[in-house]
Amino acid sequence: MLNKTVKQLSIATATVGLATLGVTFGNTQTANAAAIRSGFNSNTLPRNDDGSTSLVSMGFDINFGSFISDQLYINNNGNVTFDQNLFTFTPFNLTNTTRQIIAPFFADVDTRGPGDPVTYGTDIVDGRDAFGVNWINVAHYFQSVPLNSFQLVLIDRSDTGVGNFDFEFNYNEILWESGEASGGNSQGLGGESARVGFSNGTGDPGTFFELPGSGVNGAFIDGGSSALVSNSLNSNVLGRYKFSVRDGKVVTSVPEPASILVLLALSALGTTFLKRKQNEKV
């Protein structure tokens, strides 16, 4: 049985709070390159539903504007947070939250079945220290299939300034978008769809972002209008979305005109949507 509180929210997609980012569709991307990086698997979050780690060290400091930290919480439901654990399983709008969060795929992940648990750890990317979290072959609540595979990688860029860092959202396969407690069906489709983005919790301009397609049914699924595996951002590898943070601010890129048109079209898909926010499962 599922308990839920219903309230009205509006979807803010594409460019809210951040200069427009150029999501490139096709063109010169390396379509056959695997977006998910190897490694980052020295530690395991035990199989769970809606669980989280205690504070975990990244091995380097990051300056995200509202805070400087070398630690974070890894939450089973497709995100990391810096202020406290996040047990919420239905994704909320990342453009108006006070939470300090980076979310490669905020949705109701359930690792109690035959898929794989969440793994994490340190490694090296292009000669730089890095910390990554793997959600590889993870299912949605309350099912064991289909499975999604995605990853978050934070890369130390203190070579450019104290606390500077890059972070990547990497995707190899996205077959579901929601859990059954979030209104999805047994295949993980429909309901309260996944959200992708970040916020440092202040609400100040330039400190939050949601990828176009967040909260839109079917958008992020393989073959969807904003399929995560078929597009990229600041990378020539399909399925990789890269952000750079310098002096606590996210550095944006200027999109090509065609990308602007795509962003505007995607934004129009989600102007208003009935959203539900859950607090517990029974």
Any domain includes 58: yes
In the prediction, which pLDDT does 15 show?
Answer: 35
Instruction: Tell me the DSSP string of 89-116.
Output: -S---TTS--S-EEEEEES-EE-SSSS-
Peptide bond into 257 cis (omega under 30): no
* Token reading at 139: 């299912």
In the prediction, which pLDDT does 253 show?
Answer: 61
Any domain includes 115: yes
In the prediction, which pLDDT does 12 show?
Answer: 31
Any domain includes 282: no
Whole-structure pTM value: 0.84
In the prediction, which pLDDT does 20 show?
Answer: 42
Any domain includes 65: yes
Any domain includes 110: yes
- Residues 209-253 have pLDDT tens digits of 999 999 999 999 999 999 999 999 999 999 999 999 999 999 966
Compute the average pLDDT of residues 191-216.
Answer: 97
The kind and range of the H/E element at 262 are: helix 257-269
Peptide bond into 142 cis (omega under 30): yes
Any domain includes 109: yes
Torsion of CA 123, 134, 239, 258, to 10 degrees: -90
DSSP 77: T
Any domain includes 20: yes
Does residue 217 contact residue 226 with C-beta atoms inside 8 Å?
Answer: no
pLDDT over 70, % of the chain = 77
* Domain range enclosing 254: 5-277
Task: Please state whether 4 falls in left (phi above 0), alpha (psi between -120 and 50) or beta.
Answer: beta
- Residues 4-59 have pLDDT tens digits of 332 222 223 333 354 445 455 443 444 435 999 999 999 999 999 999 999 999 99
Number of domains in the chain: 1
Does residue 168 contact residue 131 with C-beta atoms inside 8 Å?
Answer: no
In the prediction, which pLDDT does 262 show?
Answer: 46
Any domain includes 187: yes
